[in-house]
Structure 1
Amino acid sequence: MNKVNIRGVEIFPFSSRDQLADYVNSNPGILVAINAEKIINSTEQTRSIINRNIGYCDGAGAQMALQRKGYPDAIKVAGCELWLSLIGRFYKEKTFYLVGAKQAVIDATVEKLRKEFKGINIVGYRNGYIKTDEEKAAVIADIVAKKPDIVFVAMGSPKQELLMEEMLSQHKAIYQGLGGSFDVFTGHVKRAPKWWVEHKVEWLYRLINQPSRIKRQIKLVKFAWWIAANKF
């Protein structure tokens, strides 16, 4: 499958969740969520991280750009949904390792996963507060020793991607960066209601509930203009 270049950021135009899952199953690597904000704010470092890994569409803006580029069937998948789709697809046959969030949140995440996916094999997990090189080396060594098939890292970008690249260099697996998805999954952070998500205005829900995001959201107007004027 060919990547699509959107202002220097390369995205795979997956047309379904199954196609995405099939691809990473055959081509293990690091899944990186791409939305309009990430494209607008991309730097040489973040573009490099995305482009050498598996960038997937995680926002309506990125989806519209892919569609204007000639991929009308391109879908968007929120990262906080994708990891659960991957678990649902593979939990009976693959092993998992989780890193991220506060200790109470990661504990609750593992407990809830074991209730919802009976028989899931979580071979290891720990919180996301990795403060020293020794702690980082220890978690990588544990992953190398336990050889999980899928690793989820919820620490925010680009920290989580850089850590996953170190992990991947020593253990080949499917990796996905999740940001705050463990907090959403366990109810510590509330996601937009279903209607807002389905109508592609989840960003507006966040803005209403967190007005301080206005400076970030203004940039989306610029992105919309790029799409309208084919400047991408």
Structure 2
Amino acid sequence: MTSNSNAQSSIDPHPFKVLGFAIHLLPDYVDWLSTRIAQHQGTHVVTLNAEMTMQAEQDLALADIIHRANLVVPDGSGIVLYLKLHGKTVRRCPGIELTETLLQTSARQPQPWSVFFYGGAPGVAAEAAEKLRDRFPRINIVGTQNGFLSEADTPLFLDRLRDLQPQIICVGLGVPRQEYWIAKHRHVAPNAVWIGVGGSFDIWADRKQRAPAWFCDNHLEWMYRLYQEPWRWRRMLALPQFAWRSILEKFRH
């Protein structure tokens, strides 16, 4: 999964497969990512959930990106329940929480790591940056760019990233667009941690609210998202499909 032998030694040498996709089980993902940043090791983080897993079964390009990612974390409750069915008790690691903790850690460094936000509607990433600066005064967000970037303007934006060389790049374009974009462009900042953050900018900017803790703790965050975004109902059909596949896999083994 990664070309660096030292990095491999710090990760589970036998990542656990969820319907053919490797999930890396670590006691502390932020600690591992902090080491990668300190060692200038480029890292693509994928936050895998049931919806993405089922989508990747039909989308070979997305599947390849997940297979080649340096770190795949159990974002969704479906992934956690699958692992539990197969004897692995792990805590869910929502991408928004992982990223926020990493950003908080970045602000605590003697020289705070540099961060860039790309994605979201016009103004949202900038608002998210301002709100996070209020929460973590030492955070070093060196730039933002909304996700409505024209093809003509993309080369200039890539030149900007190339000049800045941020150490953490958060891409909020939604799945699978953000995964495609990272895979295609991560060479412009090869030592950065690249992570797809979905709609996290909207939440950090207080444009949307995350599900209350009760929903998150009881694996029902998907229900709250469906309430907020009813247009997602077709995509949510992947959840029962994933659950059925998980049960079949359990009996096969």
* TM surpasses 0.5: yes
Alignment of 1:1-232 (within 5 A): 1=11, 2=13, 3-22=15-34, 24-25=36-37, 27-42=41-56, 43-53=59-69, 54-72=71-89, 74-91=90-107, 92=109, 93-132=112-151, 134-172=152-190, 173-229=192-248, 230=250
**Number of aligned residue pairs:** 230
Cα deviation 1:44-86 (Å, max 9, x = unaligned): 11111111112211111111222334432x3222122221111
TM-score normalised by structure 2 residue count: 0.81
Say if 1:14 and 1:75, in contact at 8 Å, map to a contact too. Answer: no
Instruction: Give the residue type in structure 1 aligned to 2:202.
Output: D
What CA distance in whole angstroms lies between the structure 1 residues aligned with 2:116 and 2:101?
Answer: 16
Task: Give the CA deviation at 1:211.
Answer: 4.8
What CA distance in whole angstroms lies between the structure 1 residues aligned with 2:200 and 2:156?
Answer: 24
Cα deviation 1:165-203 (Å, max 9, x = unaligned): 233212221011111110011121222111111111112
Unaligned runs of at least 5 residues, structure 2: 1-10
RMSD: 2.2
User: What is the identity percentage for the equivalent residue pairs of Structure 1 and Structure 2?
Assistant: 27
Instruction: Give the residue type in structure 2 aligned to 1:29.
Output: T
> CA 1:18/1:70 → structure 2, altered by over 3 Å: closer, same or farther?
farther
What CA distance in whole angstroms lies between the structure 1 residues aligned with 2:121 and 2:81?
Answer: 35
Say if 1:80 and 1:184, in contact at 8 Å, map to a contact too. Answer: no
Local SS of the residue matching 2:115? strand
What CA distance in whole angstroms lies between the structure 2 residues aligned with 1:22 and 1:107?
Answer: 25
Unaligned runs of at least 5 residues, structure 1: none
Say if 1:29 and 1:168, in contact at 8 Å, map to a contact too. Answer: no
Local SS of the residue matching 2:203? helix
Deviates more, 1:108-117 or 1:11-20: 11-20
Cα deviation 1:16-67 (Å, max 9, x = unaligned): 3445534654543111111111112212111111111122111111112223
What CA distance in whole angstroms lies between the structure 2 residues aligned with 1:68 and 1:15?
Answer: 20
Cα deviation 1:125-170 (Å, max 9, x = unaligned): 11111121x3222121111111111111111122222222233212
